[in-house]
């Protein structure tokens, strides 16, 4: 039997998704459902002076209007509102009091028998505010940003080395606020199960995180709240923390003792988390020979007034390239906005964009091919972290294969030197890096005598293919056909899983499945040994494997028993095992994934219209569980990278503190016309250290580096360096 | 969104009568813009009069060599109609440059004329906007105005008209046929949309109780030498930063008759008869086109974020004139600019 791991299998949930069989949070219908609509704040900072809901309440079909004044009791401590992945600070409490901390903050919840009635009545809720002056502009606040603890230990003396370097580059790079814009709207359907019990269908990347959060805010017992999220229509980090709609939906269900559904509008989703805007400054000093002497990376990022969210943009710089001197600084600015949060490759998408743009500029200053510069600065150690070697790092092969397929050797180094008719042609490259993280996880498997197995874990499939890879790994480890495996996930009552994020679930859950399958196999072996005349009577547990529905002695395949027979004869109709897996770091290796990106742009010389005509992404990320879903994931990362480079920007009018492009007509992401030839390559990377299967994650690496490769290609085409994203047509004219 | 009544108009006269009877009624056809505005509480009609069953869905050749297009012809049908593709390809091209296929399937010809600006402040019922609430002020003048007008604006409003199709119709000297309580009348497309002046709340010269019944195109279609060039922030599904419709009648290298209209730059499709007159009789050359484009953009004025549009419009006009003169119109499917 060909192993399923490593085979390009179509998604096992694909049929359900394209036929509408897969249900999302807003699609669970129950009788007597109450529909909720949120009224949001028109001001950015201040307080609610008065809410008049009388007109709304008079509308036929309106059940109630909840505000901070009449809502049922909620917890009153910060700790109660801290979810598993909350940053430091005082978490936001929806509908808690009269204080307004950001534009679009919910101020009332209209509950009605029909959604249209709720929406109409919401327009009749009149709110009077006491307004205070607000600040939403990073540039106005950069001077008062406060320093965070050092992101990583500095090495050497970066300032001195910079002053002494043969060739220097310094530059400031800006990334705007971006919003996740998953296709699926944020939604929660709460069913009232009697006896005060609730089932919450929620759009989230972590059902157990939401379950604990809801229990803690409403003082409910764990057994009284079940959170389900079997399918997620994208989230991209915005679903790591519970969002306010789940609090409001539960609040309303408890108030009315009825089932409630709340779906946010697209516009309202622009008042959830976002990728923080940031100013980054990079200093690179190199020898004339093109090796790095020093790197300094400073970042100023934004968060809310009430929580300090940040990720380490800066430390990627001292990790990716060999440099004796390195220094990192990170400052935070508090603005009158919601708390920023993780978004698609948090910190690396932005930090590596700045670094890889700066490296391109250094290559220009050195008159060196940018790929050659990367090779001369190559690091096979994590200098930020005790100079540890990597568990595996096949970045050199990414560079080699990527460059070959792209045709990089034919590049003329001079800007504006390549053209195609009326278009300037630019070729740019960049490196990508991410962490190969893994988290403790528990998997339960129930094997039945008919040769079927159910694999259960509370993780989510946020659209990445988790259902499919879980089934592949289980099928291989149990020696069963893929069709005999069923997967249960996205249910808080299932065995423990952290939120799905950070690219850590594929590695964690796949190894977790192997752990549990091993326990199943051992239990089968015990049964098999006890059978009369068993051919496996003397087999040790390491000698047997599960293959083609049989328990087989590896050393002698003729010594085998069918699983079904072992169970039947033993009088066992099911074998259930639930095992936890944790990942001990040996402390001797750094775990990372890497990529090399090559991009071609064509830019109309007269008009400045930019087309990304080719991208090659060569990825080294350990063993690839499913080349098809992996390809989709990395290709999606490239598409998002084109968006980061050319399109994405949340526009805030700082006079009002309001997002002015809060819809996906005006908040641009790439459309099909913007996407041309994308080639994805996975280079061989055998890793016997990172974990048993040698699997690393792919969730973020596809995006990291893409924006820089495109920005560098645009420079190569035009000779113009744009250091603030997105690179739009007006910026090329400046 | 407000609560509203719904009624169906049985014929054009009935539609006009119903509209006259309710000062807060609105006609609805494709609804591709009106429904959005209602969801945002920008439009709050108390009655929607459904006109989709009116017999205004035909595209017919007129005895004078032109074409008469029913107001309810969907944008996509119009774009692919043989008469339009053969005689007025600039209209086909402009329609395909706009929106998405799904929106074009729903949107009607008459509705396209009446779509409202996509100025973000107009859509955000919380911020001041003279177009939405007369006298409340213009937030865009000192706000985010990257997409806003560079021509024909006023101190009250710097919004742009979002249509692509109308830019082509303007270049072709189309006529808008309307019906009202006092019978029918015809309005030149050039006079149909208004500049904002101090009444930006009025987009058009259509009276409140009038209904568009048809658009008529004259015989001259510029089918040989034309183009529609649209410059935007992504390669599809985005409003124009600048767009240019051009129709030329050439006699060898000499321009006999020129039409040039800009989109995305003003409160209406922008034409300048002086510029067109200056092109007539000239030899098509880069110099000729540069001069015309300079003249066209001479009155332009930028704001904090949109000054780039002046030069962009100038370059786009030169390019579009070149495309038209060469007989190499811009493709709306290949995104490479020819």
Selecting from A59, A422, A674 the residue whose C-beta is nearest the C-beta of B337 gives A422
Does the pLDDT value for residue A115 go beyond 70?
yes
Residues near A565 by beta carbon (within 8 Å), at least 6 away in sequence: none
**Which stretches of chain B score pLDDT less than 70?**
none
Question: Could you tell me what percent of chain A has a pLDDT over 70?
Answer: 100
Would you state the structure tokens that stand for residue A570, as one six-digit string? 């033993």
List CB contacts (< 8 A) between B121 and chain A.
Answer: 660
Instruction: State whether A602 and B235 contact (CB < 8 Å).
Output: no
Strand partners, A431: A596
* Contact assessment for residue A614 and residue A391, using Cβ atoms and an 8 Å cutoff: no
Nearest to A609 among B121, B231, B308 (CB): B231
| Interface contact B337-A604, CB threshold 8 A | yes
Residue of chain B minimizing CA distance to A671: B236
Residue A734 pLDDT exceeds 90:
no
Assign residue B325 a region: left if phi > 0, alpha if psi is -120 to 50, beta otherwise? alpha
Q: Quick check: B236 and A647 CB within 8 A?
A: no
| Angle at alpha carbon of residue B80, lines to B78 and B81, rounded to 5° | 65
Facing A673 at nearest CB: one of B235, B315, B319:
B235
CB pair distance less than 8 Å for B234 and A647:
yes
Residue indicated by tokens 């953009």? B297
Alpha-carbon span A637 to A1, nearest angstrom? 33
Residue A585: what pLDDT?
82
- Cβ <8 Å between B234 and A673: yes
Q: What are the chain A neighbours of B146 within 8 Å (beta carbons)?
A: 730
CB B186 within 8 A of CB B25: no
Contact B118 A602 (CB under 8 A): no
Nearest to B226 by CA among B136, B320, B292: B320
Give mean pLDDT, residues A307-336. Answer: 98
β-bridge partners, A326: A155, A295
CA B95 to chain centre: 10
CATH 3.30.390.50, chain B: domain bounds: 225-326
Where residue A670 falls among pLDDT bands split at 50, 70, 90? very high
Instruction: Give pLDDT tens digits for B90-138.
Output: 999 999 999 999 999 999 999 999 999 999 999 999 999 999 999 999 9
> Per-residue DSSP letters for A178-211?
B----SSPPEEEEEE-STT-EEEEE--S-HHHHH
Over residues A337-342, mean pLDDT: 98
Name the closest residue on chain A to residue B97, using Cα atoms.
A673
A295 pLDDT higher than 80: yes
Residue B137's region, left for phi above 0, alpha for psi from -120 to 50, else beta, is left
Is the domain B225-326 a CATH 1.10.10.60 member?
A: no
Distances, alpha carbon A478 to alpha carbons A43, A445, A516, A729, B192, in Å? 58, 10, 10, 56, 73
The yes-or-no verdict on residue A259 having pLDDT over 70 is yes
Out of A116, A606, A668, closest to residue B234 by CB: A668
| Interchain contact A654–B (C-beta under 8 A) | no
CA nearest to A667 within chain B: B238
Reduced 3-state DSSP string for chain B: CCCCEEEECCCHHHHHHHHHHCCCEEEECCCCCHHHHHHCCCCCCCEEEECCCCCCCCEEECCCCCEEEECCCEHHHHHHCHHHHHHCHHHHHHHHHCCCHHHHHHCEHHHHHHCCCCCHHHHCCCCCECCCCCCCCECCCCCCCCCCCCCCCCCCCCCCCCCCHHHHHHHCCCEEEEEECCEEEEEEHHHHECCCCCCCCCCECCCCCCEEEEEEECCCCCCCEEEEEEECCCCCCCCCCEEEEEEEEEECCEEEEEEEEEECCCCCCEECHHHHHHHCCCECCHHHHHHHHHHHHCCCCCCCCCCHHHHHHHHHHHHHHHHHHHCCCCCCCCCCCC
In this complex, which of A422, A608, A670 lies closest to B234 when CB atoms are compared? A670
Residue A568 corresponds to which tokens in the numbers above?
A: 């039947």
Higher-pLDDT residue of A681, A196: A681
**Would you state the structure tokens that stand for residue A375, as one six-digit string?**
């090779």
User: How big is the A-B interface in CB pairs under 8 Å?
Assistant: 94
Is it the case that residue A518 has pLDDT exceeding 70?
A: yes
Q: Chain A contacts of B335, Cβ < 8 Å?
A: 611, 673
pLDDT digits (tens, 9 = 90+) for B132-155: 999 999 999 999 999 999 999 999
Report the C-alpha gap between A731 and A608 in whole angstroms. 9
**What is the residue-wise DSSP string for A421-472?**
TTEEEEEEEEEEEEE-----EEEEEEEETTS-EEEE-S----SSSHHHHHHH
Find chain B residues with C-beta within 8 A of A661's C-beta. 120
Q: What is the ipTM for the molecules in this complex?
A: 0.97
Nearest to B186 by CA among B177, B173, B198: B177
Yes or no, beta carbons of B337 and A653 under 8 Å apart: no
Reported confidence tier of residue A405, pLDDT bands at 50, 70, 90: very high
Contact residues, chain A, for B241 at CB < 8 Å:
729
Residue B1 pLDDT: 84
Distance CA A665, CA A650 (A): 12
Chain B residues near residue A181 by CB distance under 8 angstroms: none
Beta bridge partners of A448: A574
| pLDDT the model gives residue A1 | 66
Measuring CA to CA, which residue among A443, A447, A461 is closest to residue A520? A447
Q: Which residue of A has its CA nearest to B320?
A: A607
Residue B35 has a pLDDT of 96
Q: How far is A276 from chain B (nearest CA, A)?
A: 20
Mutate to test the interface with A, among B243, B336, B338 (most CBs of A within 10 A): B336
Closest chain B CA to residue A734:
B308
Would you call A79 exposed, middle or buried from its count of C-beta atoms within 10 A (0-12, 13-18, 19+)? exposed
Confidence check: pLDDT of A638 > 80: yes
Considering the entire predicted model, what is its pTM?
A: 0.98
Distance CA A188, CA A203 (A): 7
- The tally of CA atoms less than 13 A away on the side-chain side of residue A81 is 21
Q: Which residues lie closer than 8 Å to A120 by C-beta, 6 or more apart?
A: A59, B1, B2, B3
> Six-digit token pair at B72?
């309810």
If we measure between CA atoms, which residue out of A228, A227, A204 comes closest to residue A216? A227
* Contact state of B231 with A606 under an 8 Å Cβ cutoff: no
Query: Longest Cα pair distance anywhere in chain B, in angstroms?
Result: 61
- A313 DSSP 8-state letter: S
In this prediction, residue A194 has a pLDDT band, given cuts at 50, 70 and 90, of confident
- Give contacts of A123 with chain B, Cβ < 8 Å: 1-2, 41
Q: How many CB atoms lie within 10 A of CB A537?
A: 12
Active-site position among A184, A356, A648, A700: A700
Diameter over CA atoms, chain A: 85
Identify the CA nearest to A592 among candidates A431, A399, A419: A431
What domains does chain A contain, in order, with CATH numbers? Answer: 18-133+182-235+239-271 (3.90.1170.50), 278-437+587-733 (3.30.365.10), 439-581 (3.30.365.10)
| Cα B5–chain centre separation | 29
Q: Where is A718: in which H helix or E strand?
A: helix A706-718
C-alpha–C-alpha distance, residues B288 and B269, integer Å: 22
Is B168 in contact with B246 (CB distance < 8 Å)? no
What mean pLDDT is reported for chain A? Answer: 97
Q: Which residue of A has its CA nearest to B242?
A: A607
What are the backbone dihedrals phi and psi of residue A398, each rounded to the nearest 5 degrees, phi first? -60, -45
Mean pLDDT of chain B: 97
The answer to whether residue A700 is catalytic is yes
Please tell me whether residue A219 adopts helix, strand or coil conformation. Answer: coil
CA distance to partner chain A, nearest, from residue B236 (Å) = 6
Q: Report the CATH fold assignment for B5-52.
A: 3.30.43
pLDDT at position B148 is: 98
A498: closest CA of chain B, how far (Å):
38
Tell me the pairing of strands B242-251 and B254-263: antiparallel
DSSP string, A487-552: EE-SBTTSSP---S-TT-HHHHHHHHHHHHHHHHHHHHHHHHHTSTT-TTTT--TTTEEEETTEEE
The secondary element (H helix, E strand) that includes residue A212 is: helix A207-218
Residues of chain B with CATH 3.30.43.10: 5-52
Which pLDDT does position A586 carry in this prediction? 85
The set of residues, in sequence order, having a beta carbon less than 8 Å from that of A512 and lying 6+ positions away, is A441, A442, A443, A457, A579, A580, A581
Find the Cα–Cα–Cα–Cα dihedral A445, A447, A451, A456, rounded to 10°.
Answer: -30
């Amino acid at each position: 039997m060909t192993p399923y791991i490593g085979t390009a299998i179509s998604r096992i949930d694909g049929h359900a998704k394209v036929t509408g069989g897969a249900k999302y949070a807003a699609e669970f219908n129950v009788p007597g459902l109450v529909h909720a609509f949120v009224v949001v704040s028109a001001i950015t900072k201040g307080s609610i002076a008065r809410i008049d809901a009388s007109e709304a309440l008079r509308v036929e079909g309106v059940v109630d209007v909840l505000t901070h004044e009449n809502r049922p009791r909620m917890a009153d401590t910060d700790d109660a509102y801290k979810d598993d992945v909350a940053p430091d600070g005082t978490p936001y409490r929806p509908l808690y009091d009269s204080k307004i901390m950001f534009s679009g903050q919910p101020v009332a919840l209209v509950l009605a028998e029909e959604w249209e009635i709720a929406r109409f009545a919401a327009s009749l809720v009149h709110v009077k505010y006491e307004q205070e002056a607000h600040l939403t502009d990073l540039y106005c606040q950069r001077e008062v940003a406060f320093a965070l603890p050092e992101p990583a230990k500095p090495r050497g003396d970066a300032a001195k080395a910079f002053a002494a370097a043969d060739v220097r580059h310094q530059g400031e790079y800006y990334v705007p606020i971006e919003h996740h814009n998953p296709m699926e709207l944020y939604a929660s359907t709460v069913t009232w199960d009697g006896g005060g019990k609730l089932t919450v269908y929620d759009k989230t990347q972590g059902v157990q995180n939401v379950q604990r959060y809801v229990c803690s805010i409403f003082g409910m017992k764990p057994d009284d709240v079940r959170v389900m999220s079997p399918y997620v229509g994208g989230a991209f980090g915005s679903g790591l923390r519970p969002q306010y709609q789940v609090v409001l939906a539960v609040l309303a269900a408890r108030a009315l003792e009825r089932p409630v559904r709340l779906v946010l509008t697209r516009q309202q989703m622009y008042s959830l988390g976002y990728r923080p805007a940031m100013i980054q400054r990079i200093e690179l000093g190199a020898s004339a020979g093109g090796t790095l002497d020093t790197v300094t990376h400073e970042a100023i990022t934004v968060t809310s007034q009430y929580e300090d969210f940040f990720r380490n943009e800066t430390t990627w710089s001292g990790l990716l390239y060999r440099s004796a001197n390195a220094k990192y600084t990170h400052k935070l600015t508090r603005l009158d906005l919601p708390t920023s949060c993780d978004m698609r490759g948090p910190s690396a998408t932005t930090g590596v964009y700045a670094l890889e743009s700066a490296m391109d500029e250094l290559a220009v200053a050195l008159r060196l091919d940018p790929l050659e510069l990367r090779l001369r600065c190559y690091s096979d150690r994590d200098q930020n972290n005790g100079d540890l070697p990597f568990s595996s790092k096949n970045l050199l092969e990414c560079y080699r294969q990527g460059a070959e397929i792209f045709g990089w050797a034919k590049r003329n180094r001079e800007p504006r030197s390549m053209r195609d008719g009326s278009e300037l042609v630019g070729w740019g490259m960049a490196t990508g890096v991410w962490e190969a993280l893994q988290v403790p996880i528990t998997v339960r498997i129930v094997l039945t005598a008919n040769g079927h197995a159910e694999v259960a874990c509370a993780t989510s499939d946020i659209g990445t293919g988790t259902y499919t890879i879980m089934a592949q790994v289980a099928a291989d480890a149990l020696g069963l056909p893929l069709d005999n495996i069923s997967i249960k996930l996205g249910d808080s009552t299932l065995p423990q899983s952290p939120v799905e994020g950070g690219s850590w679930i594929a590695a964690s859950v796949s190894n977790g499945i192997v752990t549990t399958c091993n326990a199943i196999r051992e239990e089968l072996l015990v049964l098999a040994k006890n059978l009369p005349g068993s051919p496996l009577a003397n087999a040790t547990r390491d000698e047997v494997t599960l293959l083609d529905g049989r328990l087989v002695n590896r050393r002698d395949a003729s010594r085998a028993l069918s699983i079904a027979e072992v169970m039947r004869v033993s009088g066992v109709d099911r074998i259930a095992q639930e095992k936890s897996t944790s990942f001990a770091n040996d402390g001797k290796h750094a775990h990372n994934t890497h990529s090399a990106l090559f991009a071609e742009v064509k830019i109309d010389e007269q008009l400045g219209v930019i087309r990304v005509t080719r991208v090659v992404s060569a990825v080294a990320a350990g063993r690839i569980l499913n080349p098809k879903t992996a390809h989709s994931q990395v290709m999606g990362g490239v598409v998002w990278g084109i968006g980061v480079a050319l399109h994405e920007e949340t526009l805030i009018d700082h006079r009002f503190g309001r997002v002015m492009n809060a819809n996906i007509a005006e908040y641009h992401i790439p459309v099909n016309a913007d996407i041309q030839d994308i080639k994805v390559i996975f280079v061989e990377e055998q890793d016997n250290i990172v974990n048993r299967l040698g699997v690393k994650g792919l969730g973020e690496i596809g995006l990291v580096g893409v924006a820089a490769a495109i920005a560098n290609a645009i420079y190569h085409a035009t000779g113009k360096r744009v250091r603030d994203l997105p690179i739009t047509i007006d910026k090329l004219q400046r | 969104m407000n609560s509203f009544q719904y009624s169906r108009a049985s014929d054009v006269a009935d539609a006009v009568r119903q509209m006259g009877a309710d000062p807060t009624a609105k006609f609805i056809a494709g609804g591709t813009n009106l429904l959005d505005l209602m969801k945002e509480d920008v439009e709050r009609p108390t009655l929607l009069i459904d006109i989709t069953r009116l017999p205004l869905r035909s595209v017919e050749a007129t005895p004078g060599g032109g074409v008469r297009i029913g107001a309810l012809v969907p944008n996509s049908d119009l774009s692919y109609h043989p008469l339009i593709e053969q005689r007025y390809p600039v209209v086909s091209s402009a329609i395909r440059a706009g929106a998405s296929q799904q929106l074009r399937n729903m949107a009607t010809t008459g509705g396209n004329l009446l779509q409202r600006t996509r100025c973000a402040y107009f859509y955000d019922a919380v911020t001041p906007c003279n177009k939405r609430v007369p006298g409340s002020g213009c937030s865009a003048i000192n706000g985010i105005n990257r997409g806003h007008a560079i021509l024909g604006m006023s101190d009250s409003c710097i919004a742009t008209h979002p249509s692509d199709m109308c830019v082509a119709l303007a270049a072709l000297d189309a006529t808008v046929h309307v019906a009202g309580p006092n019978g029918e009348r015809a309005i030149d497309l050039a006079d149909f949309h208004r500049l904002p002046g101090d009444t930006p709340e009025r987009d058009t010269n259509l009276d409140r109780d009038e209904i568009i019944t048809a658009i008529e195109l004259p015989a001259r279609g510029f089918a040989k030498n034309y183009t529609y060039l649209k410059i935007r922030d992504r390669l599809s599904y985005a409003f124009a930063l600048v767009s240019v419709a051009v129709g030329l009648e050439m006699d060898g290298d000499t321009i006999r008759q020129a039409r040039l209209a800009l989109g995305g730059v003003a409160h209406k499709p922008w034409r300048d008869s002086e510029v067109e007159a200056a092109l007539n009789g000239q030899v098509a050359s880069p110099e000729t086109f540069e001069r015309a484009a300079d003249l066209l953009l001479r009155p332009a004025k930028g704001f904090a974020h949109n000054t780039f549009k002046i030069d962009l419009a100038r370059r786009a006009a030169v390019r579009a004139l070149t495309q038209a003169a060469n007989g190499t119109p811009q493709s709306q499917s290949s995104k490479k600019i020819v």
